[in-house]
Amino acid sequence: MNRIYIKEIKNKIGEEVKLAGWVDVRRDHGKLIFIDLRDMSGKAQMVALPNHKEAHDNASKLRSEWVVEIIGKVNKRPEKMINKNEELGEVEVEITEVKILSEAEIPFEKDAATNLDTHLDNLPLTLRTEKAKAVFKVQAEIVKAFREFLNQENFTEFQAPKLIGEDAEGGANSFDVTYFKHIAHLAQSPQLYKQIMVGVFEKVFAVGNVYRAEKHSTTRHLNEYTSLDMEMGFIQDHTDIMRMENRLLKFVMDALKESCGKEFEFLKATVPEVPENTIRFRFYFHNAFPDGKKAFLYTRRRK
């Protein structure tokens, strides 16, 4: 029997299926043992009954995050057992066979708020939460939409080196790398390479990690992050870039609305609105000087 994804059981009522995934939670009621099984597609409830003795024994051993293969029969739940809050809350799987693929030990209480050290020390486990998954999903969708838009606009993607001889940009500090008998640096930006490639393809972009050797104590600064970079030639002025960026941001946010609604809801966040047109400002000056020169006073957004 081939393994199917958990979300497919909705259409397999009455059939025997083979599933694989992680034990999300085990609730042991003695005779009845409930297992919430999770895979990349979703989560569903499995139940082990005493009449399948071996499966029941195995199910009683399971703990959160153990990796298992389960064979069982998909049943529609009785009316009063239906859980409307779960996507697969109308079905459950009656377990006939449990195969333990891998045990796991969680060195903290599952679902408890962990402090930063515990979180970082246990990423293989802490990244499995809905919240962490939502962050990674949104990241993946942003990068995907960024590339999709720029490909549509005939930009060419290229791979920029990060191991460089000199600083690509002034400003930020760079990390030193021992490069055989020399000192090399980690690039703070693909700027130089983008400019070279504009001479080749006119419109280019790069997605890659960049490095800033700055000490920090906030989560808003990072020594290493993924930078989304574009560069285009033959512009008239900065408003060409602003218009392109505006359309790019709108495309990315529209993609997020379409594909990450659930994730934003879970993160209690909303996808930012991008105005149809670039923001324009009106500049206000004051006749400040005797020679007629004006002093800059303030800007106000133009309607």
- Contact status: 24 vs a copy of itself (CB under 8 A): no
**By CB under 8 A, residue 159 contacts a copy of itself:** yes
Q: Please report whether residue 143 would count as binding a copy of itself according to CB under 8 A.
A: yes
Tell me which residue of 167, 214, 208 sits closest to 187, measured CA to CA. Answer: 167
Q: Which CB atom, from 21 or from 72, has the smaller least distance to a copy of itself?
A: 21
CB of 2 to a copy of itself, least distance (A): 9
- For position 156 contacting a copy of itself by CB under 8 A, the verdict is yes
Among 110, 137, 247, 250, binds a copy of itself (CB under 8 A): 137
Q: How far is the CB of 252 from a copy of itself (least distance, A)?
A: 15
8 A C-beta contact, residue 144 and residue 151:
no
Nearer CB in complex with a copy of itself: 67/271:
67
Q: Which residue, 74 or 125, has its beta carbon nearer to a copy of itself?
A: 125
| Interaction site with a copy of itself (CB under 8 A) | 3, 20-22, 39-40, 123-125, 127-128, 132-133, 136-137, 139-140, 143-144, 147, 151, 154, 156-159, 161-163, 175-180, 186, 195-197, 199-203, 207-209, 211, 213, 215, 223-224, 226, 234
